[in-house]
A and B are shown apart, each in its own frame.
Chain A
Amino acid sequence: MSIENLGRRRWLRQGGCSLGAMALGTLLERDGFSASPSAFAPRAPHHSPRARAVIEIFCPGGMSHVDTFDHKPELEKSHGKAFDAELGKQTFAGTGGTYARSFWPFRRHGRCGKAISDLFPNLARHVDDIAFIHSMRNKSALHGPAMFMMNSGFILPGFPSMGSWVTYGLGCETDNLPAFVVLPDIRGLPPGGVLNWGAGFLPAVHQGTVVEASGTREPIADLFPPERQGDEAPGRAFLRSLNASHAEARASDTRLAARMASYELAARLQMSAPEAVALDRETAATKAMYALDDEDIGPFGRQCLLARRLVERGVRFVQVFCGAENTQARKVRPNWDSHEDLVRDHGYWGRVLDRGASALLADLKSRGLLDETLVLCATEFGRQPFLQGGNRGRDHNPGAYTAWMAGGGTKGGTTHGSSDDLGWQAAGNPTYSYDLHATALHLLGIDHEKLSFYHNGIMRRLTDVHGKVISEIVA
């Protein structure tokens, strides 16, 4: 497919930009100013893209691969046996107990016959659209650093997140919404907090903008004054004329024109953001599909539905969190971190993810959006194939876990890489975040080796000095 054939996807060549990530160069071009190339100017894709937008579902806490997507018949045979204590040196919180088979039986699904555990009855219907990567590894077994690695390619804080790299590389399609939107779990932020969607050393325009998913507060911080005070028009007009005469005396400083434009864009955002998060025009069937009325799974359904609406409106990257930080002990853990009772916690979060993610895939597909929207589901690490001490839970396992992609040019019904027979270590085609990110960028038309930014002596990349595109799962 050549770039000329993508006429309906005007965004490809335009490389425009948005409120959240207003690209100075583009903006000024539109306003008739000439601008010198700047760090903010978005770049054209390196090759013709398959996806125009990304929805990443992130499951903090560490989703067990052996209980969900990575079927391990050998583990069933080893069930109840003591594990090799030598392996215990990698455990995070305690000693290893006995090997334990999946807490849910696996069944084959779809034309591809992929085995999925019964934790995901709805998601299982979509396996022919999904490409699984079973050989993920993380360089850290700790939540914070492992989250950073999956989101930025580095275990240390301060590196740009994937969403910020993508908007840095491509800009965005709309002038009315931020380019990179984050929808945190209603329980709170994930481990590592806002740094997970930070721009690091990239210009701060590229950081993710949190959009409030609850519907009870304004969708974006400071969108309106806390109390509506009266007609905004006279003040805006005064400010505009004040800034115009200031800029006039400094005509060569293009930042001032950009600043004035940012106030016009802000006004547009006040119109478009509430519209984007208002669900009243969604049909009853759609609301039911996302289970919006369910107390437990409704909030995540709402996040997924918002993600679809944002992508429809031109947002480039939406990150949806399925779980929060380990905060207070409640009846279930606030994320997937199931150390003591996997049935309780994965059981809860499994229902949440199953309904929301499957509804999202079905919804995107029915609207013809799945072809151009890459849906990515990730977690920071997997869990051990053996129990944690005498608990009915599993400890962290950075040695192997599963991520999956659907839509946006991925080849559905495929599997890449494998963990070993017991699911303890990645075995076939082991990879870190690098290959996952390289592949996602590739689908967006970006060569991950060319998407770089100079910082403190190094041309930095999302994929560090690693990464190769997983061509087997690219359609």
Chain B
Amino acid sequence: MPRLPLALLIIAAMARFGMAADFNSQAKPVFLARCAQCHGAGTAKAGLRLDSAGGALRGGTDGPVIIPGQAGKSPIIARVTSDKPGEMMPPKGPRLTPGEISALREWIDSGAKGGRPEDERDPRLDHWAWQPVAGMPTPAGNPVDHFINARLKAAGLSPAPSADRRSLIRRLSFDLLGLPPSPEEVTAFVNDADPQAFAKLVDRYLDSPRYGERQARHWLDIAHYADTHGFERDQRRENAWRYRDWVIRAFNADMPYDRFLADQIAGDQFRPGDPEAVAATGFLAAGPWDFVGQAETPSPVLKRQARADDLDDMVTQVMAAACGVTVNCARCHDHKLDPISQKEYYGLWAVFSGARRGDRPLDPKGEARRDDERKALQAKAHELRAAMARLDGKGLSLADAVGGGDGLGSGTRGAGINPATGRKSTTKAGFISGAVANQYRALGGLVDGVVIPGGGDVPVSSTGIVAKSLPKTSANAWDAIRNGPVNQQRSTSIAGTAYSGPGHDILGLHANAAITFDLAKARATLKADTLRFTAMAGYGGRPGDNSTKADLRVLADGVEVDRHLGLNPASGPLAIDITLGPDKRFLTLVATEGADGGIGHDQVFLGDARLRPSKTARPSAAETANRREVAEALAAIERQISAIAPSPMVYAINGGPPEAVRVLKRGNPEAPGEETAPGALSCLKGARPLEATSDMGDGARRAALARWIAQPENPLTTRVIVNRLWHHHFGAGIVGTPSDFGAGGGKPSHPELLDWLAGELVRRRWSLKAMHRVICASEAYQRSSLSQDPKAAMADAGNRLLWRQNPRRLDAESLRDAVLATSGQLDLTPFGPGYRDFVYQEAYAPIYRHIDDDSPSLRRRSIYRFVVRTTPQPFLTTLDCPNPANLSPSRTETTTALQSLALLNNPFMLRQARHFARRLSRDAGDSTDGQVGRAFALAFARAPSRSELDAAMALVRARDLPELCRMLLNASEFCHVD
């Protein structure tokens, strides 16, 4: 090893001349010779790279290996000097020589100084996509054709001629609108003598409301949008569609693309009062969400894992959609191909660590105003209802009080109170673990407060009354105390009476939880001193849960006055009837887990729980006379209340305090490393860095990322979107991997064109419609796809140079829409909740059974389909509609016999064939050749040839018109754009 003595000589020389020991001269030769095979650029075992000073000082997944100035404490020295298997490095082969070791020691002890900056440069930073967009001057003529034709010329290829007008209008119509042109449009365009006819057509289509519907399909693929959560308990998102509608409207309005992106990431921050800006943030919540892992499981380990997957999904989606980078590859280790560190990946987590998916009011300010109006009316209604209750002798409903009401019917069915926090709960919740027992949450209404009883001294009132007789519990709890059954409650009947039915109510209680009612408030309403508490107690678990035992106790001022222990399905009807004298101030209901341990299915419920006067007070004559007036006044106010529409909601982001984010070793949520601040990528040249710090709240962090992404200097954002537009006009992008511009993705076929388009987007104020015009105006777009030029086919079979247009097949949704348009059945009603082509059945794991019938709502455009994650639509899936579990930057295309069967035999197709036939009779009368002509015009935008006409008429004679229609809808010509 001649290198070593030399290195030592140099060190000696440097020491003599007072030079510090240096990485390049001293440590690097050792590292390269002995370590870099495993800890180099391509390998980086344990995340450690020793081929650069930066890598060595950064350390690996297990932390730093070098402590500057302290060789004795540096793990790397311990490893190279060890001889223990599993610890020693290198793990195989000869040990480091004493000379090598002392070279490393000296370098570390002298401060571990780095090499020269140019030696530290990561060559991966030179990748084309990270470089600033080149300022390409706009060439003369059509700029797109300038770049395309230059490449063709260089390759010695000549471009195909222009497509005929019939092909052009059909192509443009499918590209921009996702629908076939009507025969009348085709005729008008074919006969239009204006040389600007095509440009006019482009303008007209860009102005069509169908344009936004078509473009939204592409964007929602990237957002993996669906209308349910996904995973095992695939619940519905009733308000997700408002984001879908926002996307359609944004495209139709030609919202500048920078704002389009920024609003989807942080619109609620940029314009908090604007409902549209709130709807935009549905983007961040569009992906799947695991109810069981996020809410239901008691296990903190599983919860952390679910949240980790949740954040990964958000970060991956945003960065893939907007920037075409695969940051998710850096979840477990630094990105293997691109200069994206694991720390940067978790910096992106920190941007979103305050964001949680959920329903959110579109208009929070309006909602507060409406709340005030509602409250004022409720107060009036309360007085009237109290009067009615006294007149009728009905008591106060405790379930109604739990639902936020006054006991007289103003509460919300299904609403409840979280026993751990005292907060209102409007949606099903799951396991509450780690709650503090015996922490009374005072609420100060008819419901005085709630507590999770843990045994010992349990506080049960806002005045400090303590119950001493309650058993010790695990302090775990489930869901909330509800005005209605608790989550997963199976039984709502007692002794044959269904308390979920009209005229009854349920106070749902699940161990361990207690709730206290303020009798003083009840007395004030009922104007009675002595009260009665009456209810039927029942068990809400499933019939098979006979081994669980739940306990119910009733306390008055903390002292037990009634108890029903070991409730189970076999428990008979348990009537409760307790008189509460004027000295009693508080009534408390307590559910505990019983003696069996565990709270599974410990569901207690009370049917028709009422506080009522012990004696029904005799109403005065005047009151009786007033009864009708009171009832009418109450009805009027209730009408007023229900006329105040609730704020529309959107399934989007509910911001909260950001959680601290730590770099997770090997991506494992149970192995947190150093804490990390919000950040983005550092490899983009010329882009301003992310301006966010750890002291920022959720919204400010997201706003910072939105600005970082939507800055014109971000070289990815503009390139990625123009490439997506190109992809949808040509069937292939200039970069073939539309969501991966990194080193693992494709290289641009026309880099200058890509940069010119990216620059043009900014010059045209981020207008996507302008970019469509630019692309569609080119000869390249308008070329025929039929050319069989053998020279070109030989030189460029894949048509990367675009010597002709690419023939394309219709995607699943376009095909379905085209079938409906052709049969005359398409319902163009835009916007609103999606159409549901399934029957929904409530179950632990909800069941969606797809149906197919002729109802008008099932004839809407496919973009308005209510998309169920776990149960993909079978017909569309067969036709390659992707599952929204995946981000889909492009559609895969397969050819299978199952597709042929679906197109031939699916009831939808057969029904539309019959509609198509009826339409032909309507449009073309009784003559078969007229019907055939019309059929070809509708299906193919052209007239039949003589032989086609003969064959079609023969088929109609042999079978019938619907059979002809069925076959036309199966034709390759119908299913392909060109």
- Report which A residues bind B (CB closer than 8 A): 18-22, 24, 36, 40, 89-95, 97, 139-145, 155-158, 178, 188, 191-195, 198, 200-201, 203-205, 207, 209, 220-226, 229-231, 234-235, 238-239, 241-243, 246-247, 249-253, 255-256, 258-260, 262-263, 265-266, 268-270, 325-329, 339-341, 344, 388-392, 454, 456-458
Contacts and interface: CB of A to CB of B under 8 A. Distances in A.
Nearest to A206: B894
B910 A266 contact: no
Contacts of B301: 89-90
Given A89-B301, A141-B299, A194-B872, 15 more contacts: A95-B476, A140-B302, A145-B293, A191-B845, A222-B898, A222-B905, A225-B905, A226-B907, A230-B963, A235-B966, A238-B955, A252-B793, A258-B895, A456-B887, A458-B329
A222 B901 contact: yes
B326 A456 contact: yes
25 contacts: A89-B299, A91-B298, A94-B298, A94-B599, A95-B599, A97-B597, A141-B299, A143-B292, A192-B870, A194-B877, A234-B963, A235-B955, A241-B951, A243-B973, A258-B895, A259-B975, A260-B972, A262-B897, A262-B900, A263-B900, A326-B843, A326-B844, A328-B843, A391-B596, A456-B889
Nearest to B234: A193
B407 interface: no
Nearest to B490: A329
Contacts of B809: 255
B231 A223 contact: no
A158 B897 contact: no
Interface string B294-310: 00011111100100010
Is the contact region of chain A dominated by helix, strand, or loop, or is it mixed? loop
| 10 A-B pairs with least C-beta separation | A389-B598, A457-B326, A390-B596, A158-B885, A144-B232, A19-B897, A94-B598, A157-B885, A266-B900, A265-B897
A458 B326 CA distance: 8
A94 B474 CA distance: 10
Contact of B292 (A142, A255, A391): A142
B971 to A, nearest CB: 5
Given A191-B845, A226-B910, A269 B897 contact: yes
B40 to A, nearest CB: 18
A388 B297 contact: no
B845 A269 contact: no
A167 B894 CA distance: 14
Given A142-B293, A142-B302, A235-B963, A95 B597 contact: yes
Interface in B938-978: 948, 951-952, 954-955, 958-959, 963-964, 966-968, 970-973, 975-976
A36 B794 CA distance: 12
Contact of A391 (B297, B299, B600, B968): B600
B971 A195 contact: no
Contacts of B487: none
Given A252-B788, A262-B897, A221 B874 contact: yes
Contact of B892 (A203, A235, A262): A203
B548 interface: yes
Interface in B302-340: 302, 305, 309, 320, 325-326, 328-329, 337
Given A95-B598, A234-B954, A239-B970, A198 B883 contact: yes
A177 to B, nearest CB: 10
B205 to A, nearest CB: 25
Given A193-B871, A205-B894, A222-B906, A157 B845 contact: no
Contacts of A392: 547
B456 interface: no
Contacts of A40: 894
Contacts of A253: 807
Given A238-B951, A266-B904, A200 B886 contact: yes
A231 B958 contact: yes
Contact of A234 (B543, B896, B907, B958): B958
B465 interface: no
B113 interface: no
B972 A156 contact: no
A45 B786 CA distance: 38
Interface in B777-808: 785-786, 788, 793, 797-798, 807
Contacts of B889: 456
Nearest to B968: A242
Nearest to B594: A390
Nearest to B740: A457
Interface in B200-221: none
B744 A457 contact: yes
Contacts of A139: 305
A204 B892 contact: yes
A21 B964 contact: no
A195 B844 contact: no
A386 to B, nearest CB: 11
B843 A92 contact: no
Contacts of B597: 95, 97, 389-390
Given A144-B292, A242-B948, A178 B898 contact: yes
Interface of B: 230-232, 288, 290, 292-293, 297-302, 305, 309, 320, 325-326, 328-329, 337, 474, 476, 490, 542-545, 547-549, 595-601, 739-740, 742, 744-745, 785-786, 788, 793, 797-798, 807, 809, 843-845, 847, 869-872, 874, 877-878, 880, 883, 885-887, 889, 892-902, 904-907, 910, 948, 951-952, 954-955, 958-959, 963-964, 966-968, 970-973, 975-976
A94 B793 CA distance: 66
Contacts of B972: 242-243, 246-247, 256, 259-260
A238 B548 contact: no
Contact of B896 (A141, A223, A262, A457): A262
Nearest to B601: A340
A391 B293 contact: no
A387 B887 CA distance: 41
A156 B885 contact: yes
B904 A222 contact: yes
A339 B959 contact: no
B960 to A, nearest CB: 8
A198 B872 CA distance: 10
A366 B476 CA distance: 55
Given A195-B870, A262-B899, A339 B600 contact: yes
A464 to B, nearest CB: 10
Contact of A205 (B297, B548, B896, B963): B896
A326 B899 CA distance: 31
A251 B788 contact: yes
B788 A238 contact: no
A269 B230 CA distance: 33
B548 A24 contact: no
A435 to B, nearest CB: 18
A224 B885 contact: no
Contacts of B309: 155-156
Contacts of B970: 239, 263
B172 to A, nearest CB: 19
B297 A238 contact: no
Contacts of B548: 340, 389-391
Nearest to B433: A89
A456 B302 contact: no
A328 B490 CA distance: 10
Contacts of A18: 897
A201 B739 CA distance: 14
Given A140-B302, A235-B959, A22 B896 contact: yes
B231 A145 contact: yes
Contacts of A243: 971-973
B971 A242 contact: yes
Nearest to B668: A139
Given A234-B955, A255-B893, A327 B901 contact: no
A246 B874 contact: no
Contacts of A198: 883, 885
Contacts of B878: 221-222
Nearest to A176: B897
